[in-house]
Amino acid sequence: MRLGHEEWTLDHLVQAAAGKLQVDASSPALQARLELGASALRRRWDETGVIYGVTTGYGDSCSVGIPAYLVAELPGQLVSFHGCGLGEPFSREETRAILAARLASVSRGWSAVRPELVNLLAELINRDILPRIPREGSVGASGDLTPLSYVAAVLCARRQVWTADGSGFEPASDALARAGLSPLVLQPKEGLALMNGTSVMTALAALALRRAEAICGATCAATALAIEAIRGNPGHHSERLMSAKPHPGLARAAGAIRAHLGSALVCGENRLQDRYSLRCAPHVVGVLLDALPHLESMLVIELNSANDNPLIDPDDGQLLHGGHFYGGHVAYVADSLKSQLAGIADLLDRQMALLTDRHASHGLPANLSGAEGERAPINHGLKAVSIATTAWCAEAARLTLPASILSRSTECHNQDKVSMGTIAARDALRIAELCSQNAAACLLASAQGVEIRQRRGQLAPCALSDRGQKAFAAVRRHAAFLGEDRELEDELRSLSSAVLAGEWPLEPQ
């Protein structure tokens, strides 16, 4: 990707997170624009002698003047006192996304950073030199100060980075030296430009959104297999029925379910109406599908924004004070994703209960046990998995409280209204993980139900289409039929990872 010539998309960010995007910061136009911004800051400083965060303290300390002989030390001090993050570090994937999001912002030219800073930040991405960033400590305004201080520190050869094999951490100075990269001495405003922004929350919310799309596809596949397993009524998802309530996401979800079931939409043995977890699955998934384009558009705008403070117009040198570090839009995206994903986790939990309950599954064995003969009494099938599915659903539901309504006044009441966007985005990622586990469990259970019918010679009333057969085969690549009870942890982990990787897409790829 050539910086300065392309707008960032969420696909760019996801590719960067996967380590599959190289960024090129060598454009003469980009370098010139960055130099314009940095020069404008220097001119403004020469003219006025007072610039927030350059010759003053930060936040509530903005009234504290910095003596000229200490100005050069101020950016390093900002990095130092924000080195208080706690909690587990962000994963390497999450960290790559964070670096890309910050690069997208500071390379727009409004942050008054030198070309050297943008070049080195791009090299961290290209060479996979990933800061160790603790995940706790941001209220989402004034930006992601504490977590982004770990990015700024690594540019200065301070703190730690992930080792190349991802097994631990090493000093940033060692990694930069091995790569032949010279660390920075941050110039006035550069510490603030790196840290005072929404890049952590934006990166995490983008990853959560992409995972939400993949979960929708897996949910529709699992629903179709469940309909087959319990001899359900595919007519609930007919195109004619969907046309009477023309929400695009509803139609898209029903179409995906229908495509797995094939064209036979009238069955002689089906019930008049299935339970809601099957009949109304498109109405649950469809809400999220309709929300995703709107949510993505907000994230793309945030990703392509200058979101620190103050900003310097590189064209005319005007100094602009504001609050673009505020993560309200990202918090809205993340909190919206949280509630919709938790709803899907609940849908999947109910489908799991339907499949494993012998009173509701229309002839399937209790807990979908595949054991027969004299050993059948000691086998319990997916009993424990159904319990775990409920636990994952409950945890997802607990995390849906909107973080954005939990603003706390902080920093001597200077930051008296904050977005909590980073906490919201972290929660959205966690709920996506929990939801993928529920999808994995339902894929496992519905495939088990289908195969039990097949082994018994019971032809399902509505044969799966070729696509449905492929969905079933994809489950079997990760988990075999459950005859004798066995430990299923590894298979569930593999299925969950496959869900997030989009192995059951909404539309054929």
- Smallest CA-to-CA distance from 121 within 80, 168, 181, 175 is with 181
Which residue, of 197, 225, 251, is where some domain finishes?
197
Structure tokens at 277: 């977890």
Which residue, of 137, 168, 197, is where some domain finishes?
197
CA distance 434 to 341: 9
90 and 182 inside one domain:
yes
151 and 87 inside one domain:
yes
Instruction: Report yes or no on 202 lying in a domain.
Output: no
CA distances to 8, 94, 461 from 19, rounded to whole Å, are 16, 11, 46
189 and 222 inside one domain:
no
245 and 374 inside one domain:
yes
50 and 95 inside one domain:
yes
Instruction: Report yes or no on 183 lying in a domain.
Output: yes
Which one of 52, 58, 69, 326 is the catalytic residue? 52
Question: Which residue intervals of 236-280 are DSSP H helices?
Answer: 239-243, 248-261, 276-279
Q: pLDDT by residue for the chain (509 residues), tens digit each?
A: 999 989 999 999 999 999 999 999 999 999 999 999 999 999 988 887 788 989 898 888 888 999 989 999 999 999 999 999 999 999 999 999 999 999 999 999 999 999 999 999 999 999 999 999 999 999 999 899 999 999 999 999 999 999 999 999 999 999 999 999 999 999 999 999 999 999 999 999 999 999 999 999 999 999 999 999 998 999 999 999 999 999 999 999 999 999 999 754 444 456 789 999 999 999 999 999 999 999 999 999 999 999 999 999 999 999 999 999 999 999 999 999 999 999 999 999 999 999 999 999 999 999 999 999 999 999 999 999 999 999 999 999 999 999 999 999 999 898 999 999 999 999 999 999 999 999 999 999 999 999 999 899 885 545 688 999 999 999 999 999 999 999 999 999 999 999 999 999 999 87
Whether 284 and 343 have beta carbons less than 8 Å apart is answered as: yes
149 and 268 inside one domain:
no
Instruction: Report yes or no on 1 lying in a domain.
Output: no
CA distance 357 to 370: 14
CA distance 217 to 152: 38
Instruction: Report yes or no on 406 lying in a domain.
Output: yes
192 and 222 inside one domain:
no
- 18 HSE (CA, 13 A, CB side): 13
Instruction: Report yes or no on 37 lying in a domain.
Output: yes
Instruction: Report yes or no on 40 lying in a domain.
Output: yes
* Residue 463 phi, psi dihedral angles, 5° rounding: -65, 145
pLDDT for res 269: 55
CATH for 43? 1.10.275.10
Instruction: Report yes or no on 211 lying in a domain.
Output: no
Question: Can you tell me which residue has the tokens 């390379």?
Answer: 107
The dihedral formed by the CA atoms of 65, 71, 73 and 78, expressed in degrees to the nearest 10: 50
Which residues neighbour 70 within 8 Å (Cβ) at sequence distance 6 or greater? Answer: none
71 and 20 inside one domain:
yes
167 and 232 inside one domain:
no
Structure tokens at 415: 């930051």
Enter the pTM of the model: 0.96
169-178, long-range: CB within 8 Å, 24+ apart, which pairs? 169/132, 172/129, 172/131, 175/129, 176/129
258 and 166 inside one domain:
no
CA distance 180 to 428: 38
297 and 176 inside one domain:
no
The total of structural domains in the chain comes to: 2
Burial string for 312-328 (b: 16+ CB within 10 Å, else e) reads bbbeebebeeeebbbbb
Instruction: Report yes or no on 193 lying in a domain.
Output: yes
Residue 57: exposed, middle, or buried by beta-carbon count in 10 A (0-12, 13-18, 19+)?
middle
Is 52 among the residues known to form the active site? yes
Q: Which domain holds residue 44?
A: 10-197
Question: Beta 311-312 vs 319-320: how paired, if at all?
Answer: antiparallel
Which residue, of 137, 166, 197, is where some domain finishes?
197
353 and 253 inside one domain:
yes
CATH for 409? 1.20.200.10
